[in-house]
């Protein structure tokens, strides 16, 4: 039996164990996924335990995505650029960190909406870590145009400056929401609307039109107020559950070398969320 798991604090709410263990059972793989609640002063010991106990790998969630990096042997390009690790793989004692969040988001977007980001002009709402990861993955996939909007303009400019010169040249910071009509896709990367703040929205819905695709990375609740409002305006919507599923699917493949049953994972997590 090979052990994989989740490092975070707290982790009792996580749906990752249910999702991954379902996939392992469906594929008859000898793996088991556990959630490990790590104390803030024991992160180094926790990472060392991956080697000592022969754990195949872990996901890393809040608040340790940055904290674990100094204790790893290698960090792949995406995680280095994003400045955060959400997956660790143990290859014979060598620990490598990856970030699958942005890639998982783009995969879910293209699969669920049947679009190609190369054909889209995209606005990102927010300038935090989630925005950074998604922008990096959109650039990797040659998204046509990327604009960044954040209420704190200086923070948006700072985020763009973190990319190399060539990448930064492909990102525009916009300060006026009146420009939204020029873009196909609006992506909310802020926590606005996430439980328990379910009545929040990242922008005024007046700027959304029927021609827009509107995506929200929040998946609890599944239908945020922003998505509900966008739907009433006639926009096509995309909720955040797919990002969670696909980032996990990429981690699953890094650990096992096999592709998981994504649709069954999706259905199980969606059913669980609807019942909550």
Q: Is 127 annotated as a binding residue?
A: yes
Q: Is 116 annotated as a binding residue?
A: no
Q: Is 263 annotated as a binding residue?
A: no
Are 8 and 64 in contact, with CB atoms under 8 Å apart? yes
Q: Is 101 annotated as a binding residue?
A: yes
What DSSP line would sit under the chain, residue for residue? -EEEEEEESS-TT-SHHHHHHHHHHHTT-SEEEEEEE--GGGHHHHHHHHHHHT--EEEE-TT-TTTTGGGSSEE-HHHHHHT--SEEEEETTEEEEE--HHHHHHHHHHHHHT--GGG-EEEEE--SHHHHHHHHHHHHTT-SEEEEE-SSHHHHHHHHHTS-HHHHTTEEE---GGGGGG-SEEEE-S-TT-TT-TT--SS-GGG--TT-EEEE---SSSS-HHHHHHHHTT-EEE-THHHHHHHHHHHHHHHHSS---HHHHHHHHHHHHHH-
In this structure, the strands spanning 57-60 and 87-91 are antiparallel
Q: Is 237 annotated as a binding residue?
A: no
Q: Is 128 annotated as a binding residue?
A: yes
Q: Is 137 annotated as a binding residue?
A: no
Q: Is 129 annotated as a binding residue?
A: yes
Q: Is 104 annotated as a binding residue?
A: no
Are 78 and 85 in contact, with CB atoms under 8 Å apart? no
Q: Tell me the two tokens of residue 75.
A: 């960090």
Q: Is 61 annotated as a binding residue?
A: yes
Q: Is 41 annotated as a binding residue?
A: no
Q: Is 31 annotated as a binding residue?
A: no
Q: Is 14 annotated as a binding residue?
A: yes
**Cα 153 to Cα 174: distance, rounded to the nearest angstrom:** 9
Task: Give catalytic status of residue 65 as yes or no.
Answer: yes
Q: Is 219 annotated as a binding residue?
A: yes
**Cα 241 to Cα 112: distance, rounded to the nearest angstrom:** 11
Please identify which of the residues 26, 44, 65, 94 carries the catalytic annotation.
Answer: 65
Residue ranges for the binding site for NADP(+)? 126-130, 217, 240
Residue ranges for the binding site for shikimate? 14-16, 61, 86, 101, 219, 247
Residue ranges for the binding site? 14-16, 61, 86, 101, 126-130, 217, 219, 240, 247
Catalytic sites, residue numbers? 65
């Amino acid at each position: 039996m090979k052990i994989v798991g989740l490092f975070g604090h707290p982790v009792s709410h996580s749906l990752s164990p249910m999702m991954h263990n379902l996939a392992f059972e469906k594929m008859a793989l000898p793996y088991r996924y556990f959630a490990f609640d790590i104390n803030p002063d024991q992160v180094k010991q926790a990472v060392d335990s991956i080697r000592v106990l022969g754990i195949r790998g872990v996901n890393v969630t809040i608040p340790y995505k940055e904290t674990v990096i100094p204790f790893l042997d290698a960090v792949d390009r995406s995680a280095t650029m994003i400045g955060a690790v959400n997956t660790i793989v143990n290859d014979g004692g060598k620990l490598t960190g990856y970030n699958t969040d942005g890639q998982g988001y783009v995969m879910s977007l293209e699969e669920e909406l049947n679009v190609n980001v190369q054909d889209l002009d995209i606005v990102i709402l927010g300038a935090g870590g989630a925005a950074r990861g998604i922008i990096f993955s959109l650039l990797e996939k040659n998204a046509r145009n990327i604009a960044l909007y954040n209420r704190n303009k200086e923070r948006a400019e700072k985020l763009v400056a973190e990319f190399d010169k060539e990448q930064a040249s492909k990102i525009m910071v916009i300060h006026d929401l009146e420009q939204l009509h020029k873009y196909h896709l609006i992506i909310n990367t802020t926590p606005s609307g996430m439980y328990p703040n379910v009545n929040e929205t990242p922008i005024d819905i007046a700027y959304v039109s029927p021609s827009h695709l509107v995506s929200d990375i929040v998946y609890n609740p599944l239908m945020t107020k922003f998505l509900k409002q966008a739907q009433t305006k006639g926009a096509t919507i995309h909720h955040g559950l797919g990002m969670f599923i696909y980032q996990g699917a990429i981690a699953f493949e890094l650990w096992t070398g096999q592709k998981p049953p994504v649709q069954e994972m999706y259905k199980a997590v969606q059913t669980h969320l609807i019942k909550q």
